Structures are given as structure tokens and as C-alpha cells.
Amino acid sequence: MESIKVRQRVGQDGILYLEIPVGLREQDVEVMVIYRPVPSLTTIEPSLEALYGICADDPIILDDQGIAEALDDEAKSNLPQETLWNYRGIVTQ
């Protein structure tokens, strides 16, 4: 006797369809099905007001070309010597 646990979704027709490979061919098997509804996971989406100001202690500074030069210098110092930096991204030699 083998026990297999699966999680499936009941269709709009109210019927649960199961396709479970068991590794047997041309044999009769006895199947017992026990089902229980799975509690739905509710996620609470934060409102825009809740997100306001979350980066206040670490602001993103922009200049006329995008990200501030000071941030680019900091990023360059963390890169290996063989890596070039430009405003379009990282280009490796």
C-alpha cells in the first residue's frame, strides 16, 4: 500500500480530477480518497499611504543623468578591477 499526498484545485464544475502516476500498468488498484478544503492564504496588500516615507532614511539621489555620481563612485569601488561601469549597466571586459 502506498500513500500519496497531493494538492489539487476543484474546477468550476465542482469535480476534482486526479491524475496520479503510480508506476503500475494493467492492474486493478483500490483507491481511497480523503479530502479537506485548504484554508486560503489571505495577503494584505499595503496601501500607498503605508509605503510613504519608507526610504526616508536612505534617499535615492538623482542628477541630470540619473543616479548621482557619488553613488556611481561607491558602486565602482565595490567592483573588481576588470569590470567597467557605465550609465547603462555593468560591462565586463
Please report whether residue 9 resides in a domain: no
Please report whether residue 56 resides in a domain: yes
Please report whether residue 82 resides in a domain: yes
Please report whether residue 59 resides in a domain: yes
Beta-carbon contacts of residue 60 (< 8 Å; ≥ 6 apart): 67
CA distances from 24 to 20, 21, 28, 87, 90 (A): 11, 8, 9, 59, 54
Please report whether residue 63 resides in a domain: yes
Per-residue pLDDT of the chain (93 residues; tens, 9 = 90+): 888 888 888 989 999 998 888 889 999 999 899 999 888 776 667 777 777 777 777 766 666 666 655 655 555 566 555 554 454 455 544
Total residues found in the chain within this entry: 93
Q: 68 lies in which domain range?
A: 48-92
Domain count, the chain: 1
Burial 65-92 (b: 16+ CB within 10 A, else e): eeeeeeebeeeeeeeeeeeeeeeeeeee
Please report whether residue 79 resides in a domain: yes
Question: Which pTM was predicted?
Answer: 0.37
Please report whether residue 84 resides in a domain: yes
Please report whether residue 11 resides in a domain: no
DSSP code at position 14? S
